[in-house]
Each structure stands twice: as structure tokens, then as C-alpha cells.
A and B are shown apart, each in its own frame.
Chain A
Amino acid sequence: MQVTDLGRWLWAAGFIGHILLFTVLIVRSRAQQFPIFTTFVLSNLVRTVVLFFILKFGSRHTYYYTFWSLGALDTLLQFGIVYEMYAKTFRPLGVWASDVRRAFLSLIFGSLIIAFGLTMAAAPHTKLPIQSTILRADFFSSVWMGELFVGMISISVKAGLPWQAHVGRIAKSLGLYCLLDTLIGAMATHFGLDQSTAPYLVLQQIRQFLYLGCLSYWIVMLWKEAPDPRRMSDELRLRLIRLQARVEADLHWIRARHPS
């Protein structure tokens, strides 16, 4: 199977980028903070190595089968990152914030309906049914993830839930990447794969460039330190717990008088 010079360059750049990012995550101790994101980066490294050797020594069929299988794993890990960012934002003290649950559920179902609707509306022209399924699945995951990231940003700002600095950095960049990938996915379904694969390949290269941009951003931003929150003394923490109990009691009285 022939890979163009640009393809090789993108592959190499991505590999180096992932090595650098993985190094940053380990050296700066971000891996404990973001285990799923770290697994995603590591899986991309492994994926590149595996595909390289299959390309060199394996068959075309093996390569495509491995490529799409690992691609599906990649997508699952990206959804895992979405969950990780949500958990860090909406359960800062280990419990999901109660006042955003309704908004949360509305977001998940609403975004799913929109993503599903758009995916059903897509009609890529392909030679094989499996190609159509892959294009649609790819498009669906980009749309849904983009919506989830934007929703996360919107709900957390409205609710006044702060982000840890690195959560914001990962979420914003991955969200932007997913939204741009949505446009690329839409164009891929528009051009299809029945007449020529050239437009599809060009779009994939654009996607790879965008992803390299994301990688570079993560390498720089995750290397930087986040501002440290002030440490609370035990006495202060106890006083805050008592205050929280009083505020909760206020709310209980209010709710008891006028259940909403």
C-alpha cells in the first residue's frame, strides 16, 4: 500500500507529538489527574507503531481491519475523555452537583437526538455499505462529542462551577477539534467514496493537521503549572462544613414550605 510523502510526514509528526505529550503527562504528574486522557495518548502511540509494522510487513486487508478496529477504540477513549472532563467539572468533591442534573440529562438526550438526526440525514455515496457505516459513525461521534463539550462549557459557566485549569485546556481544544471534525465529516459524506477517494484523503490530511495543532497546544499547556488553590486549615474546613450545613438547612426549610 502506498503512503504519500505528506502522509508519512503527518504520521511521523503525530508519533513524535504523542511521545512528547506522554512525556509531559508523566513528568508533570498529569497522568494521575487524567488517567483516561493519558490512556488515549498511549493508545495512539501503540496504534501508530502497530499500524507502521503492519503496513511494512502485513497485508492491505490486515492493515484496514486493524486501522478501523483501533479507530473504534480511539473513539471510545475520546468519549471516555468526555466523561473524565465532565467528572472533573461536575463532581469536584466526589459527588455530582445536584443542581445541574436536569440540565445534564437534557443535554445528553438533546445532543444525542441532534447527532442522530444529522447522521441519519447524511447520505454518503460509497461503493460498499461498510464504508457508508464508517463515514456515518465517524460523523456521529464528532457531532455528539462537539455538542457534549460545548454543553459542558455552557452548563458549568451558568452553574458557576469552576474548571481546574487543565480541564479547561483539554476540553476547549478537544471540543473545537470535534466541531471542526464535524465539518470535515460532513464534507466527507458529501464527497463520498464511490467516484474517487482523493477528496476523502485530502479531508483526512486536514483532520490530521488540526489534530497536530491540538497536540501542540496540549504539550505546551499541560507542561505549564495551573494556579494553586489555597490550602485550607482543618479548622477552617470545619467552619465551612458547619456553614454549609446551615445553608442546607435554610434550603430545606424553603423547600418544605414550597415544594417546587
Chain B
Amino acid sequence: MIGQSALFLIVVSIVVLCLLVVAFYSLRRARRSTEGSWESILQRLVLVDRNGIEDIALDIIDTAGKRRTDDDSFMMEAKEIWTLVGGWKGLNALEANCLVLIDLAFYLQQLYPEAFAVTQQLRLSAREIEWQISRLKIAEKTGKLDGTITMYGQHAIATYYLMTRRLLDLYAQLHSPMLPQLQKVL
């Protein structure tokens, strides 16, 4: 039978081991983000229908990113949005791509630390997308997906579209030589 003291040692050892594992995986991820080539980060982008994304987004926002208030806005039906984005596969791809977009911004941030504020805003946008997609998943479980596609799905897609535009703006503002390559995929 293990004494209380020995049990205490075991528990502490487990806690320390867990903390070391967390630190190890975090540092490994950090190394992947910072030491991987820019091309390797770009390769993680899942291809999505850019034209479809743009059509969905520009139905509710203008090219400057402001919400549209004209009579021709907010015209898309849920079915059309769902088809254009590629359903769950497409939405999951957008969600995954958000992390890549942040890594692409972070790559520049290491050269220009002052770009931190833009990267931070992109991270907040990614959180919004994550939240909106989670609402869609909940709606699907309750059988109310159709009613929420325009509310959350189109919103998430518009947010993603804005993220891509702002990332391209960031690379353009900093005169990054990688901009042409980025424009091809975004």
C-alpha cells in the first residue's frame, strides 16, 4: 500500500510531466511556425473557391469592408450560399485556413514587430469565424441549419474574405516580395 507521502510524490511527478509535455508541444509548434519556410506555411492553405467566397462576401459588404445598405444587398439565399462555399467541407477549409493566414501574418511580424497589432486583429477575426461556425454546428444538431446559414455562415465567409484582403494589404504595405505568390492563392 502506497503511503500518503509517496502518493503525493507520484501526483506531483504527474503534474510536472504534464507541464513538460505541454511546454514541449508548444515549443515544437512555435518552431514550426517560425523556422518553417514561408512556402511551407503557404502549402498548408486548403484551396477554396475564391470567386464563390468573394460573391458571398460582396453580397453583404463592399470592397472597402463596409456593410452594404443598398437595395441589392443581402440577396443571396441560404441554399446558394451553401452550394458556393462547398458545404461543411468548405467551411471547415475556411476555418483551417484562418490559422494559416495568421501564421502568414506572424511570419511578417517577426521581421516587423510593429505589425503585431494587425496580426492580433486577424487572430480576433479567426475567433469570430470559429464562433460563427460553432453556431452553425449547433444549429445543424437542432435541425435549424437552413435558418442560420445567412446569419452565421455568410457572416463567417465575409469575415474570412476580409481577413484575406487585409493580409494581402499587410504584405503590400510592407513591400513583401512574397506578395505575388500570396495573391495567386488568396
Chain A residues within 8 Å of B, Cβ to Cβ = 92-93, 97-99, 114, 118, 121-123, 143, 146-147, 149-150, 153-154, 157-162, 172, 175, 179, 182-183, 186-187, 189-190, 229-230, 232, 236-237, 239-240, 243-244, 246-251, 253-255, 257-258, 260
Question: Can you give 21 contacting A-B residue pairs, CB < 8 Å?
Answer: A97-B120, A99-B124, A123-B8, A147-B19, A149-B23, A150-B22, A150-B26, A160-B102, A160-B119, A160-B123, A162-B109, A190-B5, A190-B9, A236-B174, A243-B173, A247-B122, A247-B166, A248-B121, A249-B66, A253-B67, A254-B125
A160 and B170 form a contact (CB under 8 A): no
Chain A residues with Cβ below 8 Å from B20 are: 150, 179
Q: Could you tell me the dominant secondary structure of chain A's interface residues? A: helix
Cα of A172 to Cα of B20 in the assembled complex, Å? 11
**Cβ-neighbour of A253 out of B65, B102, B123 (below 8 A):** B65
B8 and A251 form a contact (CB under 8 A): no
**Cβ-neighbour of A121 out of B8, B23, B155, B158 (below 8 A):** B8
Map CB proximity to A onto B98-126 as digits: 1 under 8 Å, 0 otherwise. 00001101100111111111111111110
A-facing residues in B5-40 (Cβ within 8 Å): 5-6, 8-9, 11-13, 15-16, 19-20, 22-23, 26-27, 29-30, 33-34
Q: Could you tell me the dominant secondary structure of chain B's interface residues? A: helix
A258 and B155 form a contact (CB under 8 A): yes
A254 and B128 form a contact (CB under 8 A): yes
**B21: min CB distance to chain A, Å:** 10
Question: Knowing A123-B4, A123-B8, A150-B22 touch, does A258 contact B120 (C-beta < 8 A)?
Answer: no
B19 and A162 form a contact (CB under 8 A): no
Residue in chain A with minimal CB distance to B158: A254
B117 and A246 form a contact (CB under 8 A): no
Question: Knowing A247-B122, A253-B65 touch, does A240 contact B162 (C-beta < 8 A)?
Answer: no
Cα of A250 to Cα of B166 in the assembled complex, Å? 10
A150 and B23 form a contact (CB under 8 A): yes
**B65: min CB distance to chain A, Å:** 5
Chain B residues with Cβ below 8 Å from A187 are: 9
